[in-house]
Amino acid sequence: MSVKMVAPSILSADFANLEKEVKAIAAAGADWAHVDVMDGHFVPNLTIGIPVVKALKKVSPIPLDVHLMITAPEKYIAEFIKAGADYVTIHVEATRDPASVLRQITALGAKAGITLRPGTPVESVIPLLNLCDLVLVMTVEPGFGGQSFMHDQIAKISRLRHEIIKQSLNCLIEVDGGINADTAKLCHEADVFVAGSYVFSQDYAKAISSLR
C-alpha cells in the first residue's frame, strides 16, 4: 500500500493564528494545506476568499489545495491562482462547461481537480478525468465541517481507481469528510486524505501520522 498524503483543512484551524497553524501542520508532516472556499450560494455557508489565499501563500511551507465550492468558478480561477493556489478543485455542477474550466486552471499553471458531492454520480466526472490532476470525493455534504462520514461513498473511490488505471492516468484521488484514522482505512484506495477537526483537535503530528 502506498504512503498516503494528508491535507489538513484549515477550516478547523484557529483563524486568528493562520500563519502559526499552517506552519505547525507543515512541521507535523502535512503534505498540503486544504483551503475550503464557500460562497454562500453553491453551498449554504461562507468562508474565505482570495485575500486569505494570498496571505497564506506568503507564509505556507506546503502547497495550497484550494477547494472551490462556488458558483461560476471560471470568474475567479485566475485570481485564485495568482494569489497562490497550487491545486484548484471545482465542482462539476458549479459551471456550464467544467472541461473548459479545468483547461483554464492547467493553462494558468495550477493543478486541476474535479469534485464529487455525495449526490453526484461518478459517471459525470469520468469523461473529465483526463483533464484532472486530482479528483475529490466528498464523504459528507459540502458546506460545514464536523459532519459524519458517509459510508456509501466508498464505492465511488473504487470506481474512480478502476477508471484511472484503465485510462492510464496520472490523477490523484482525494477524499474529504469525516476522515479519521478509522474511516481513512475504509478509503484505502484514495491517495490524499483531507481532515479538519480530526487533525486540529489533537496533537497534529500524531493525527497526521495516524492517517497514513
**pLDDT given for residue 102 in this prediction:** 98
**pLDDT given for residue 142 in this prediction:** 81
The answer to whether the predicted template modeling score (pTM) of the entire model surpasses 0.85 is: yes
| % the chain with pLDDT above 70 | 97
**pLDDT given for residue 7 in this prediction:** 98
Q: Which backbone phi and psi does 48 adopt, to 5 degrees?
A: -120, 170
Residue whose C-alpha cell reads 477547494 in the numeric block:
67
**pLDDT given for residue 43 in this prediction:** 87
Tell me if the domain spanning 5-211 has CATH number 3.30.428.10: no
Q: With a cut of 50, list the residues of the chain below it in pLDDT.
A: 1
Name which of 66, 49, 65, 122 is nearest 92 in CA terms: 122
CA distances in angstroms from 182 to 47, 74, 145, 172, 207, listed in the order given? 28, 36, 18, 21, 12
Domain ranges for the chain: 5-211
Q: Which residues are known to be catalytic? A: 36, 176
**pLDDT given for residue 145 in this prediction:** 61
Cα 188 to Cα 73: distance, rounded to the nearest angstrom:
30
DSSP H/E element including 192: strand 192-195
**pLDDT given for residue 40 in this prediction:** 85
Buried b vs exposed e over 153-169: b needs ≥16 C-beta within 10 Å? bbebbebbbebbeeeeb
